[in-house]
Structure 1
């Protein structure tokens, strides 16, 4: 529905998004679709995780904020490693692995308990999520501007950021509604803290499923441009010049010139 409204508005706008943005030979459309799905989980994560720490584990706002530092450190590490990993294994494999890593962290969070602790229930998943999230973000941003002409680079960058925010708003609304409904139903037969935890577990579990589907889509949608996706080491090996060869594939040798 929202997509149909967007298309209708663009058709009537005096300056719509130029079609060349999506037909420039890159993977702009794929990058934006995947970024929207990543954003739908991304923002919800930073909504539910602090709530669990404060409302269930009983942490103060300050301690909760400090508890996010390992996730932030993993984010910085992943951002620094993303280009190196992509050069080694290719962008498709990098995005897919990063999304699955983040999905694994969210699946781990879906096992949180009402009487858990930060080291046992939050720290490990935070490290996995931070690494996967940052690497996926860097690679999807790169895909979203791949092949775009220079004058349209700013437009492509603005589009992918808008896509992430729209996906985040929709994802948060859906997951918050789901978690609230599950908590309300669970409260009729469980203590308050256990009911809250059940709602959070459900949100994290659904988020993990969304990212798993996103990883499968990434494997399919980003296959376009396989030559560009080939690891640079392999491309360099193919590109190394060799001696010219004759029709029988033996090296061509040139006899020295002699004066008669």
Structure 2
């Protein structure tokens, strides 16, 4: 694992070096200083780290501990998807009433609350009693936060860079997911190994129980960073924000009709 991380760091350094010297870079360095690109991508990285981990550990718990089959496990995620779509639908409406950054923080903290609820799972639990409530809460928070971050990631950028900024925020989400899953798996495995004196199901549950509150803590950090978005936006000239408002509205509309 350390070797892979070292190789990734070297490749990233080479990429940045080439980008800085190329006359038409794929990712212009100036983009990071425009609008809300830098803080929005930072928070999206944290959200992606939790997002992928959730959809890795939750099905494992259902199949390896509760004994659910693949089809049953897949169908049981439909309430989460429905709550996700509902959160996406509510997000722009909440943002108009309470402000986009307050809405983003609320979405992240709602998802964190659902993950803390999931940390109460047991080896002899059940889907209706132990999973349905938490995943509905997580879905609402996830949908709300995703829409707000997608819109924030293109707020304040030049109209010609809106596609690049949109692609960048999806890339950081995937990078965060890869790193987050590696970290969560590294944390869960020793906890499972330490519980070897329990039954296999109980030992696995111990590892999964650790991953969920750690994920909640990551989202709490993301919520604490949301003031960076409001301060960055307030620092922009009013005329610049007004000239780019139409781009932001278009992104919010697209996000409202797209499930993450």
Structure 1 runs not aligned, ≥5 long: 229-260
Tell me what 1:101 maps to: 110
- How many Å apart are 1:5 and its aligned residue? 5.5
CA contact (8 A) 1:35 1:164 kept: yes
Aligned: 1:133 with 2:142: yes
Tell me what 1:38 maps to: 47
- How many Å apart are 1:144 and its aligned residue? 0.7
Aligned: 1:164 with 2:173: yes
Tell me what 2:210 maps to: 202
CA contact (8 A) 2:39 2:228 kept: no
- How many Å apart are 1:80 and its aligned residue? 0.9
CA contact (8 A) 1:112 1:197 kept: yes
Tell me what 1:21 maps to: 31
Q: Quickly say closer, same or farther: Cα 1:150–1:220, change in 2 above 3 A.
A: closer
- How many Å apart are 1:224 and its aligned residue? 2.5
Tell me what 2:87 maps to: 78
Counterpart CA distance in 2 for 1:6 and 1:95 is: 30
Q: Quickly say closer, same or farther: Cα 1:3–1:31, change in 2 above 3 A.
A: farther
RMSD: 1.8
Structure 2 runs not aligned, ≥5 long: 1-5, 237-260
Aligned: 1:180 with 2:186: no
Tell me what 1:218 maps to: 226
CA contact (8 A) 2:32 2:38 kept: yes
**Farther off after superposition, 169-178 or 4-13:** 4-13
Deviations 1:111-132 (A, max 9, x none): 1011111111100000010010
Tell me what 2:18 maps to: 12
**Farther off after superposition, 61-70 or 12-21:** 12-21
- SS for the counterpart of 1:225 is helix
Aligned: 1:148 with 2:166: no
What is the TM-score with the length of structure 1 in the denominator?
A: 0.82
2:132 to 119, 123, 127: 123
User: Which structure's CA Rg is the greater one?
Assistant: 1
CA contact (8 A) 1:92 1:223 kept: no
Tell me what 2:58 maps to: 49
Tell me what 2:249 maps to: none
Bigger fraction of residues in helix: 2
- How many Å apart are 1:221 and its aligned residue? 4.2
Tell me what 1:235 maps to: none
Q: Quickly say closer, same or farther: Cα 1:34–1:3, change in 2 above 3 A.
A: farther
- SS for the counterpart of 2:226 is helix
- How many Å apart are 1:152 and its aligned residue? 0.9
- How many Å apart are 1:179 and its aligned residue? 1.0
